[in-house]
Structure 1
Amino acid sequence: MKIFAWLVHIFTASGLLAGFMGLLSAIEGDYRTAMFWMLATLIIDGIDGTFARMAKVTEVLPQVSGKTIDYVIDFFTYAILPAYLFYVAIDMDYWPRLFCCFAMLLSAAIYYGLEGMVSEDGKHFIGFPVMWNMVMYVLIFVTPDLPDWALISTIVLLAILHFIPVHFAYPSRGGRWWGATLTATVLFIVSAAMNVWYFPEPKPLWRCICLGTTVYYGILAVVDTQEAWQQ
Protein backbone atom coordinates (compact mmCIF):
# COMPACT_ATOMS: atom_id res chain seq x y z
CA MET A 1 0.00 0.00 0.00
CA LYS A 2 2.87 2.39 0.72
CA ILE A 3 4.06 2.36 -2.85
CA PHE A 4 0.63 3.48 -4.06
CA ALA A 5 0.58 6.25 -1.46
CA TRP A 6 4.01 7.43 -2.57
CA LEU A 7 2.90 7.34 -6.22
CA VAL A 8 -0.03 9.59 -5.34
CA HIS A 9 2.30 12.09 -3.65
CA ILE A 10 4.62 11.97 -6.67
CA PHE A 11 1.64 12.53 -8.95
CA THR A 12 0.64 15.55 -6.86
CA ALA A 13 4.21 16.87 -6.95
CA SER A 14 4.27 16.48 -10.75
CA GLY A 15 2.02 19.53 -10.84
CA LEU A 16 5.08 21.58 -9.92
CA LEU A 17 6.99 20.11 -12.87
CA ALA A 18 4.13 21.04 -15.21
CA GLY A 19 4.13 24.52 -13.69
CA PHE A 20 7.88 24.83 -14.25
CA MET A 21 7.41 23.86 -17.89
CA GLY A 22 4.76 26.55 -18.10
CA LEU A 23 7.23 29.07 -16.70
CA LEU A 24 9.87 28.09 -19.28
CA SER A 25 7.30 28.49 -22.06
CA ALA A 26 6.27 31.91 -20.76
CA ILE A 27 9.91 33.01 -20.61
CA GLU A 28 10.30 31.96 -24.24
CA GLY A 29 7.19 33.97 -25.19
CA ASP A 30 5.17 30.87 -26.05
CA TYR A 31 2.06 31.85 -24.09
CA ARG A 32 -0.10 29.23 -25.77
CA THR A 33 2.08 26.36 -24.56
CA ALA A 34 2.44 28.02 -21.15
CA MET A 35 -1.34 28.00 -20.73
CA PHE A 36 -1.59 24.37 -21.82
CA TRP A 37 0.87 23.50 -19.03
CA MET A 38 -1.19 25.58 -16.60
CA LEU A 39 -4.31 23.66 -17.62
CA ALA A 40 -2.37 20.44 -16.98
CA THR A 41 -1.59 21.62 -13.43
CA LEU A 42 -5.29 22.37 -12.94
CA ILE A 43 -6.26 18.84 -13.99
CA ILE A 44 -3.60 17.26 -11.74
CA ASP A 45 -4.79 19.33 -8.80
CA GLY A 46 -8.39 18.43 -9.55
CA ILE A 47 -7.96 14.65 -9.49
CA ASP A 48 -5.08 13.99 -7.08
CA GLY A 49 -7.38 14.26 -4.07
CA THR A 50 -9.50 11.39 -5.38
CA PHE A 51 -6.40 9.25 -5.78
CA ALA A 52 -5.24 10.23 -2.29
CA ARG A 53 -8.51 9.07 -0.76
CA MET A 54 -8.38 5.81 -2.73
CA ALA A 55 -4.82 5.14 -1.54
CA LYS A 56 -5.63 6.30 2.04
CA VAL A 57 -2.43 8.32 2.06
CA THR A 58 -3.03 9.94 5.46
CA GLU A 59 -3.26 6.50 7.08
CA VAL A 60 -0.51 4.79 5.11
CA LEU A 61 1.99 7.69 5.16
CA PRO A 62 1.06 9.82 8.19
CA GLN A 63 4.53 11.37 8.24
CA VAL A 64 4.00 12.98 4.80
CA SER A 65 1.62 15.95 4.53
CA GLY A 66 -0.07 15.93 1.17
CA LYS A 67 -1.78 19.18 2.12
CA THR A 68 1.57 20.93 2.55
CA ILE A 69 2.77 19.57 -0.79
CA ASP A 70 -0.44 20.92 -2.31
CA TYR A 71 0.09 24.37 -0.79
CA VAL A 72 3.62 24.62 -2.18
CA ILE A 73 2.53 23.62 -5.68
CA ASP A 74 -0.69 25.64 -5.66
CA PHE A 75 0.98 28.89 -4.70
CA PHE A 76 3.41 28.55 -7.59
CA THR A 77 0.88 27.40 -10.20
CA TYR A 78 -2.09 29.48 -9.05
CA ALA A 79 -0.30 32.71 -8.10
CA ILE A 80 3.38 33.09 -9.08
CA LEU A 81 3.14 31.64 -12.60
CA PRO A 82 -0.06 33.55 -13.50
CA ALA A 83 1.45 36.79 -12.19
CA TYR A 84 4.53 36.25 -14.33
CA LEU A 85 2.38 35.42 -17.35
CA PHE A 86 0.44 38.65 -16.80
CA TYR A 87 3.71 40.58 -16.57
CA VAL A 88 5.12 39.27 -19.86
CA ALA A 89 1.93 38.77 -21.91
CA ILE A 90 -0.16 41.87 -21.12
CA ASP A 91 0.58 45.04 -23.07
CA MET A 92 0.46 47.63 -20.31
CA ASP A 93 2.74 50.34 -18.96
CA TYR A 94 5.37 49.10 -16.52
CA TRP A 95 4.11 50.51 -13.22
CA PRO A 96 0.41 49.58 -13.52
CA ARG A 97 1.47 46.15 -14.80
CA LEU A 98 3.77 45.67 -11.80
CA PHE A 99 1.02 46.92 -9.50
CA CYS A 100 -1.35 44.23 -10.81
CA CYS A 101 1.27 41.52 -10.30
CA PHE A 102 1.92 42.70 -6.75
CA ALA A 103 -1.82 42.79 -6.03
CA MET A 104 -2.17 39.17 -7.15
CA LEU A 105 0.85 37.92 -5.21
CA LEU A 106 0.25 39.80 -1.96
CA SER A 107 -3.45 38.95 -1.78
CA ALA A 108 -2.76 35.29 -2.58
CA ALA A 109 0.00 35.02 0.04
CA ILE A 110 -2.18 36.51 2.78
CA TYR A 111 -5.18 34.41 1.71
CA TYR A 112 -3.12 31.23 2.13
CA GLY A 113 -2.30 32.30 5.68
CA LEU A 114 -5.90 32.78 6.74
CA GLU A 115 -7.82 30.16 8.72
CA GLY A 116 -11.30 29.02 7.82
CA MET A 117 -11.17 29.78 4.13
CA VAL A 118 -13.22 26.66 3.39
CA SER A 119 -16.79 26.37 4.70
CA GLU A 120 -17.55 23.95 7.52
CA ASP A 121 -19.30 21.55 5.15
CA GLY A 122 -16.33 21.71 2.79
CA LYS A 123 -18.49 22.69 -0.18
CA HIS A 124 -17.38 26.32 -0.58
CA PHE A 125 -14.32 28.49 -0.60
CA ILE A 126 -14.79 31.54 1.62
CA GLY A 127 -13.60 34.49 -0.39
CA PHE A 128 -12.43 34.33 -3.98
CA PRO A 129 -10.08 31.33 -4.13
CA VAL A 130 -6.54 31.73 -5.46
CA MET A 131 -7.43 30.96 -9.07
CA TRP A 132 -5.30 33.56 -10.83
CA ASN A 133 -4.34 30.95 -13.43
CA MET A 134 -7.92 30.90 -14.73
CA VAL A 135 -8.18 34.68 -14.47
CA MET A 136 -5.11 34.97 -16.72
CA TYR A 137 -6.60 32.45 -19.13
CA VAL A 138 -9.73 34.58 -19.54
CA LEU A 139 -7.87 37.90 -19.76
CA ILE A 140 -5.26 36.70 -22.26
CA PHE A 141 -7.06 34.08 -24.35
CA VAL A 142 -10.75 35.02 -24.19
CA THR A 143 -10.91 38.80 -23.69
CA PRO A 144 -7.52 39.99 -24.95
CA ASP A 145 -8.77 43.43 -26.03
CA LEU A 146 -9.84 44.77 -22.64
CA PRO A 147 -8.58 48.30 -21.95
CA ASP A 148 -6.06 48.86 -19.18
CA TRP A 149 -8.64 50.31 -16.77
CA ALA A 150 -10.77 47.15 -17.09
CA LEU A 151 -7.76 44.88 -16.52
CA ILE A 152 -6.64 46.81 -13.46
CA SER A 153 -10.18 46.97 -12.07
CA THR A 154 -10.62 43.21 -12.51
CA ILE A 155 -7.36 42.41 -10.72
CA VAL A 156 -8.08 44.80 -7.84
CA LEU A 157 -11.67 43.57 -7.43
CA LEU A 158 -10.68 39.90 -7.32
CA ALA A 159 -7.80 40.64 -4.92
CA ILE A 160 -10.27 42.35 -2.56
CA LEU A 161 -12.73 39.47 -2.93
CA HIS A 162 -10.13 37.16 -1.36
CA PHE A 163 -11.07 38.75 1.97
CA ILE A 164 -14.83 39.16 1.66
CA PRO A 165 -16.88 36.17 2.90
CA VAL A 166 -18.34 35.35 -0.49
CA HIS A 167 -19.12 31.64 -0.95
CA PHE A 168 -17.62 30.16 -4.10
CA ALA A 169 -18.64 26.59 -4.91
CA TYR A 170 -16.10 23.79 -4.60
CA PRO A 171 -17.23 21.91 -7.75
CA SER A 172 -16.13 18.40 -6.74
CA ARG A 173 -17.82 18.41 -3.32
CA GLY A 174 -21.51 18.73 -4.08
CA GLY A 175 -23.66 21.70 -3.19
CA ARG A 176 -26.48 23.60 -4.87
CA TRP A 177 -27.16 22.69 -8.50
CA TRP A 178 -24.30 20.20 -8.36
CA GLY A 179 -25.09 18.56 -11.69
CA ALA A 180 -25.17 21.92 -13.43
CA THR A 181 -21.97 22.98 -11.67
CA LEU A 182 -20.10 19.85 -12.76
CA THR A 183 -21.37 20.36 -16.30
CA ALA A 184 -20.26 24.00 -16.24
CA THR A 185 -16.85 22.96 -14.92
CA VAL A 186 -16.34 20.42 -17.72
CA LEU A 187 -17.51 22.93 -20.33
CA PHE A 188 -15.19 25.58 -18.91
CA ILE A 189 -12.17 23.26 -19.12
CA VAL A 190 -13.05 22.08 -22.64
CA SER A 191 -13.59 25.66 -23.80
CA ALA A 192 -10.29 26.63 -22.19
CA ALA A 193 -8.44 23.97 -24.17
CA MET A 194 -10.17 25.04 -27.39
CA ASN A 195 -9.61 28.77 -26.86
CA VAL A 196 -5.93 28.18 -26.15
CA TRP A 197 -5.69 25.85 -29.17
CA TYR A 198 -7.11 28.52 -31.51
CA PHE A 199 -5.07 31.35 -29.97
CA PRO A 200 -4.57 34.12 -31.07
CA GLU A 201 -7.94 33.91 -32.86
CA PRO A 202 -10.44 32.40 -30.40
CA LYS A 203 -13.63 31.03 -31.94
CA PRO A 204 -16.89 32.79 -30.94
CA LEU A 205 -18.49 29.49 -29.80
CA TRP A 206 -15.76 28.65 -27.32
CA ARG A 207 -15.50 32.24 -26.10
CA CYS A 208 -19.24 32.28 -25.43
CA ILE A 209 -19.09 28.95 -23.57
CA CYS A 210 -16.23 30.22 -21.40
CA LEU A 211 -17.95 33.50 -20.59
CA GLY A 212 -21.31 31.74 -20.07
CA THR A 213 -19.89 29.28 -17.55
CA THR A 214 -18.06 32.12 -15.80
CA VAL A 215 -21.35 33.99 -15.45
CA TYR A 216 -22.92 30.78 -14.08
CA TYR A 217 -20.25 30.56 -11.36
CA GLY A 218 -20.89 34.20 -10.51
CA ILE A 219 -24.65 33.68 -10.18
CA LEU A 220 -24.09 30.57 -8.06
CA ALA A 221 -21.74 32.52 -5.79
CA VAL A 222 -24.33 35.27 -5.31
CA VAL A 223 -27.09 32.77 -4.45
CA ASP A 224 -24.91 30.71 -2.10
CA THR A 225 -23.52 33.82 -0.41
CA GLN A 226 -26.96 35.31 0.10
CA GLU A 227 -28.16 32.09 1.76
CA ALA A 228 -25.06 31.85 3.96
CA TRP A 229 -25.38 35.46 5.13
CA GLN A 230 -29.03 34.94 6.04
CA GLN A 231 -28.26 32.02 8.34
Structure 2
Amino acid sequence: MAAFSVHLFTAAGAGVALLALLEAVREHWAAMFGWLGVAPLIDGIDGPLARRLDVARLHPDWSGDALDLVVDFVTYVFVPAYAITASGLLMPIAAPVLGVGIIITSALYFADRRMKTADNHFRGFPALWNAAAFYLFLLHPPPIAASIGIAALIVFTFVPFNVLHPVRVVRLRVLNLTLIAVWAMLSVYVIVRNFDVAAPVTVTLCAIALYIGCADAAIRLFQRVRQ
Protein backbone atom coordinates (compact mmCIF):
# COMPACT_ATOMS: atom_id res chain seq x y z
CA MET A 1 0.00 0.00 0.00
CA ALA A 2 2.78 2.40 0.87
CA ALA A 3 4.56 1.62 -2.38
CA PHE A 4 1.43 2.08 -4.50
CA SER A 5 0.74 5.41 -2.79
CA VAL A 6 3.80 6.74 -4.62
CA HIS A 7 2.00 6.12 -7.93
CA LEU A 8 -1.02 7.95 -6.55
CA PHE A 9 1.24 10.82 -5.51
CA THR A 10 2.73 11.00 -9.02
CA ALA A 11 -0.72 10.84 -10.63
CA ALA A 12 -1.81 13.76 -8.44
CA GLY A 13 0.39 15.88 -10.69
CA ALA A 14 -2.19 15.39 -13.45
CA GLY A 15 -4.83 16.75 -11.09
CA VAL A 16 -2.62 19.74 -10.45
CA ALA A 17 -2.44 20.27 -14.21
CA LEU A 18 -6.25 20.41 -14.42
CA LEU A 19 -6.39 22.99 -11.62
CA ALA A 20 -3.76 25.04 -13.45
CA LEU A 21 -5.73 24.79 -16.70
CA LEU A 22 -8.92 25.97 -14.99
CA GLU A 23 -7.06 29.06 -13.75
CA ALA A 24 -5.63 29.60 -17.23
CA VAL A 25 -9.08 29.49 -18.80
CA ARG A 26 -10.12 32.23 -16.36
CA GLU A 27 -6.94 34.14 -17.28
CA HIS A 28 -5.76 33.98 -13.68
CA TRP A 29 -2.20 33.59 -14.90
CA ALA A 30 -0.37 33.97 -11.58
CA ALA A 31 -2.62 31.31 -10.01
CA MET A 32 -1.96 29.05 -12.98
CA PHE A 33 1.78 29.35 -12.50
CA GLY A 34 1.30 28.73 -8.79
CA TRP A 35 -0.30 25.35 -9.53
CA LEU A 36 2.28 24.57 -12.19
CA GLY A 37 4.93 25.25 -9.56
CA VAL A 38 3.57 22.37 -7.48
CA ALA A 39 4.27 19.91 -10.30
CA PRO A 40 8.10 20.06 -10.11
CA LEU A 41 7.88 19.49 -6.35
CA ILE A 42 5.92 16.28 -6.95
CA ASP A 43 8.32 15.35 -9.75
CA GLY A 44 11.32 15.85 -7.48
CA ILE A 45 9.92 13.86 -4.56
CA ASP A 46 8.27 10.85 -6.18
CA GLY A 47 11.45 9.37 -7.67
CA PRO A 48 13.40 9.09 -4.39
CA LEU A 49 10.26 7.80 -2.67
CA ALA A 50 9.77 5.15 -5.35
CA ARG A 51 13.35 3.93 -4.99
CA ARG A 52 13.20 3.94 -1.21
CA LEU A 53 9.97 1.90 -1.14
CA ASP A 54 11.09 -0.38 -3.98
CA VAL A 55 7.96 0.39 -6.00
CA ALA A 56 9.20 -1.20 -9.24
CA ARG A 57 9.62 -4.61 -7.56
CA LEU A 58 6.45 -4.52 -5.50
CA HIS A 59 4.23 -3.31 -8.37
CA PRO A 60 5.82 -4.58 -11.59
CA ASP A 61 2.56 -4.20 -13.57
CA TRP A 62 2.56 -0.41 -13.11
CA SER A 63 5.11 1.68 -14.99
CA GLY A 64 6.27 4.62 -12.94
CA ASP A 65 8.27 5.89 -15.90
CA ALA A 66 5.22 5.96 -18.18
CA LEU A 67 3.12 7.63 -15.49
CA ASP A 68 5.82 10.22 -14.93
CA LEU A 69 5.97 11.05 -18.65
CA VAL A 70 2.19 11.48 -18.84
CA VAL A 71 2.16 13.87 -15.89
CA ASP A 72 5.21 15.76 -17.14
CA PHE A 73 3.61 16.23 -20.55
CA VAL A 74 0.42 17.82 -19.20
CA THR A 75 2.22 19.99 -16.64
CA TYR A 76 5.36 20.99 -18.55
CA VAL A 77 3.85 21.13 -22.04
CA PHE A 78 0.08 21.02 -22.50
CA VAL A 79 -1.11 23.58 -19.94
CA PRO A 80 1.77 26.01 -20.66
CA ALA A 81 1.10 25.62 -24.41
CA TYR A 82 -2.49 26.67 -23.80
CA ALA A 83 -1.33 29.66 -21.77
CA ILE A 84 1.16 30.72 -24.44
CA THR A 85 -1.47 30.39 -27.16
CA ALA A 86 -4.36 32.05 -25.30
CA SER A 87 -2.46 34.79 -23.48
CA GLY A 88 -2.61 37.35 -26.26
CA LEU A 89 1.15 37.79 -26.03
CA LEU A 90 1.78 36.27 -29.48
CA MET A 91 0.75 37.49 -32.90
CA PRO A 92 -2.89 36.37 -33.35
CA ILE A 93 -2.23 34.67 -36.67
CA ALA A 94 0.80 32.83 -35.29
CA ALA A 95 -0.53 31.81 -31.85
CA PRO A 96 -2.53 28.68 -32.81
CA VAL A 97 0.15 27.51 -35.23
CA LEU A 98 2.87 27.86 -32.62
CA GLY A 99 0.67 26.22 -29.97
CA VAL A 100 0.17 23.16 -32.18
CA GLY A 101 3.90 23.19 -32.94
CA ILE A 102 4.71 23.12 -29.22
CA ILE A 103 2.44 20.12 -28.63
CA ILE A 104 3.67 18.08 -31.59
CA THR A 105 7.40 18.69 -31.15
CA SER A 106 7.21 18.11 -27.40
CA ALA A 107 5.40 14.80 -27.90
CA LEU A 108 8.21 13.74 -30.23
CA TYR A 109 10.83 14.96 -27.76
CA PHE A 110 9.31 12.94 -24.93
CA ALA A 111 9.51 9.83 -27.12
CA ASP A 112 13.14 10.44 -28.08
CA ARG A 113 15.41 7.98 -26.27
CA ARG A 114 18.31 10.41 -26.81
CA MET A 115 16.72 13.26 -24.88
CA LYS A 116 19.48 13.01 -22.24
CA THR A 117 23.21 12.66 -22.68
CA ALA A 118 25.43 10.23 -20.80
CA ASP A 119 26.31 12.95 -18.27
CA ASN A 120 22.62 13.82 -17.70
CA HIS A 121 22.39 16.99 -19.76
CA PHE A 122 19.26 17.51 -21.83
CA ARG A 123 19.85 17.31 -25.58
CA GLY A 124 18.21 20.32 -27.22
CA PHE A 125 15.57 22.54 -25.65
CA PRO A 126 14.04 20.15 -23.10
CA ALA A 127 10.35 20.99 -23.69
CA LEU A 128 10.20 23.03 -20.49
CA TRP A 129 7.35 25.12 -21.80
CA ASN A 130 6.25 25.99 -18.28
CA ALA A 131 9.52 27.90 -17.94
CA ALA A 132 9.16 29.41 -21.43
CA ALA A 133 5.65 30.59 -20.58
CA PHE A 134 6.87 32.02 -17.28
CA TYR A 135 9.52 34.12 -19.00
CA LEU A 136 7.03 35.19 -21.67
CA PHE A 137 4.73 36.60 -19.00
CA LEU A 138 7.66 38.04 -17.05
CA LEU A 139 9.31 39.86 -19.97
CA HIS A 140 6.13 40.67 -21.89
CA PRO A 141 7.96 41.27 -25.20
CA PRO A 142 6.25 42.69 -28.31
CA PRO A 143 4.04 40.06 -30.01
CA ILE A 144 6.32 39.67 -33.02
CA ALA A 145 9.39 39.15 -30.80
CA ALA A 146 7.48 36.72 -28.60
CA SER A 147 6.30 34.75 -31.63
CA ILE A 148 9.81 34.55 -33.06
CA GLY A 149 11.18 33.45 -29.68
CA ILE A 150 8.61 30.65 -29.31
CA ALA A 151 9.27 29.52 -32.90
CA ALA A 152 13.01 29.44 -32.15
CA LEU A 153 12.48 27.26 -29.07
CA ILE A 154 10.39 24.84 -31.15
CA VAL A 155 13.30 24.52 -33.58
CA PHE A 156 15.85 24.26 -30.75
CA THR A 157 14.00 21.18 -29.47
CA PHE A 158 15.86 19.18 -32.10
CA VAL A 159 19.17 21.08 -32.20
CA PRO A 160 21.90 18.91 -30.58
CA PHE A 161 23.20 21.26 -27.91
CA ASN A 162 23.36 20.47 -24.20
CA VAL A 163 21.11 22.09 -21.60
CA LEU A 164 22.02 21.71 -17.94
CA HIS A 165 19.93 19.47 -15.72
CA PRO A 166 20.64 21.36 -12.47
CA VAL A 167 19.91 18.39 -10.20
CA ARG A 168 21.40 15.40 -12.02
CA VAL A 169 24.52 16.90 -13.61
CA VAL A 170 27.42 16.21 -11.27
CA ARG A 171 29.74 18.99 -12.43
CA LEU A 172 29.29 22.16 -10.31
CA ARG A 173 26.30 20.57 -8.58
CA VAL A 174 26.52 22.80 -5.49
CA LEU A 175 26.49 25.93 -7.63
CA ASN A 176 23.70 24.56 -9.80
CA LEU A 177 21.49 23.67 -6.85
CA THR A 178 22.13 27.04 -5.25
CA LEU A 179 21.09 28.85 -8.40
CA ILE A 180 17.96 26.74 -8.71
CA ALA A 181 17.06 27.54 -5.10
CA VAL A 182 17.49 31.26 -5.81
CA TRP A 183 15.45 30.88 -9.01
CA ALA A 184 12.64 29.11 -7.14
CA MET A 185 12.45 31.76 -4.42
CA LEU A 186 12.43 34.60 -6.92
CA SER A 187 9.82 32.82 -9.04
CA VAL A 188 7.51 32.47 -6.05
CA TYR A 189 8.00 36.18 -5.36
CA VAL A 190 7.14 37.00 -8.99
CA ILE A 191 3.96 34.93 -8.86
CA VAL A 192 2.88 36.44 -5.54
CA ARG A 193 3.47 39.89 -7.04
CA ASN A 194 1.52 38.91 -10.18
CA PHE A 195 4.64 39.58 -12.30
CA ASP A 196 4.93 43.17 -11.05
CA VAL A 197 8.57 43.08 -9.91
CA ALA A 198 11.62 45.33 -10.08
CA ALA A 199 14.23 45.05 -12.83
CA PRO A 200 16.92 43.37 -10.64
CA VAL A 201 14.59 40.40 -10.03
CA THR A 202 13.94 40.04 -13.75
CA VAL A 203 17.63 40.35 -14.61
CA THR A 204 18.59 37.71 -12.04
CA LEU A 205 15.99 35.26 -13.33
CA CYS A 206 17.14 35.81 -16.91
CA ALA A 207 20.79 35.37 -15.94
CA ILE A 208 20.05 32.03 -14.27
CA ALA A 209 18.15 30.85 -17.35
CA LEU A 210 21.05 31.91 -19.56
CA TYR A 211 23.46 29.96 -17.33
CA ILE A 212 21.35 26.80 -17.50
CA GLY A 213 21.11 27.01 -21.27
CA CYS A 214 24.71 27.99 -22.03
CA ALA A 215 26.85 26.67 -19.15
CA ASP A 216 27.89 23.44 -20.85
CA ALA A 217 28.78 25.17 -24.13
CA ALA A 218 30.77 27.84 -22.28
CA ILE A 219 32.72 25.27 -20.25
CA ARG A 220 33.54 23.22 -23.35
CA LEU A 221 34.69 26.35 -25.18
CA PHE A 222 36.87 27.37 -22.23
CA GLN A 223 38.45 23.90 -22.13
CA ARG A 224 39.24 24.03 -25.85
CA VAL A 225 40.81 27.47 -25.50
CA ARG A 226 43.01 26.23 -22.64
CA GLN A 227 44.15 23.27 -24.72
Flag whether TM exceeds 0.5 (same fold): yes
Match of 2:70 among 69, 72, 76: 72
| Alignment-derived partner of residue 36 in structure 1 | 34
Supply the distance in 1 between the matched residues of 2:101 and 2:220 (Cα, whole angstroms).
24
| Alignment-derived partner of residue 119 in structure 1 | 117
| Alignment-derived partner of residue 186 in structure 1 | 181
Once the two structures are superposed, residues 116-175 of structure 1 have per-residue CA deviations (whole angstroms, 9 ceiling, x without a partner) of 211224x211121110001101111x202x112221221122111111221122222232
Match of 2:134 among 110, 126, 137: 137
Classify 1:59/1:193 alpha carbon distance in 2 versus 1 (closer, same or farther; 3 Å). Answer: same
Q: TM-score, normalised by structure 2?
A: 0.91
Gaps of 5+ in 1: none
Match of 1:169 among 154, 164, 176: 164
Aligned ranges for residues 89-128 of structure 1 at < 5 Å?
89-121=87-119, 123-128=120-125
Contact conserved, 1:169 with 1:175, CA < 8 A, in 2? Answer: no
Residue 226 of structure 1 deviates from its aligned partner by 5.6
Gaps of 5+ in 2: none
Q: Secondary structure at the match of 2:103?
A: helix
Residue 39 of structure 1 deviates from its aligned partner by 0.7
Supply the distance in 1 between the matched residues of 2:65 and 2:168 (Cα, whole angstroms).
17
Once the two structures are superposed, residues 2-46 of structure 1 have per-residue CA deviations (whole angstroms, 9 ceiling, x without a partner) of x22111111111111111000001111211111100111122112
Q: Secondary structure at the match of 1:171?
A: coil
Q: Report the count of equivalent residues.
A: 224
- State whether structure 2 residue 198 is matched by structure 1 residue 221: no
Residue 200 of structure 1 deviates from its aligned partner by 4.1
Contact conserved, 2:89 with 2:146, CA < 8 A, in 1? Answer: no
- State whether structure 2 residue 49 is matched by structure 1 residue 51: yes
Please identify, of 17-26 and 181-190, the stretch whose mean Cα deviation from structure 2 is larger: 181-190
Corresponding letter in the other structure for 1:94 = P
Supply the distance in 2 between the matched residues of 1:11 and 1:133 (Cα, whole angstroms).
20
Once the two structures are superposed, residues 66-117 of structure 1 have per-residue CA deviations (whole angstroms, 9 ceiling, x without a partner) of 0100111111111110111112223344221112212211210111222221
Classify 1:91/1:171 alpha carbon distance in 2 versus 1 (closer, same or farther; 3 Å). Answer: closer
Classify 1:57/1:223 alpha carbon distance in 2 versus 1 (closer, same or farther; 3 Å). Answer: farther
Contact conserved, 2:122 with 2:163, CA < 8 A, in 1? Answer: yes
Once the two structures are superposed, residues 186-229 of structure 1 have per-residue CA deviations (whole angstroms, 9 ceiling, x without a partner) of 111111111111114123342222112112112313236669x9
Q: TM-score, normalised by structure 1?
A: 0.89
What percent identity do the matched residue pairs reach?
26
Please identify, of 75-84 and 197-206, the stretch whose mean Cα deviation from structure 2 is larger: 197-206
Contact conserved, 1:118 with 1:125, CA < 8 A, in 2? Answer: yes
- Taking only aligned residues, the RMSD between alpha carbons, in angstroms, comes to 2.0
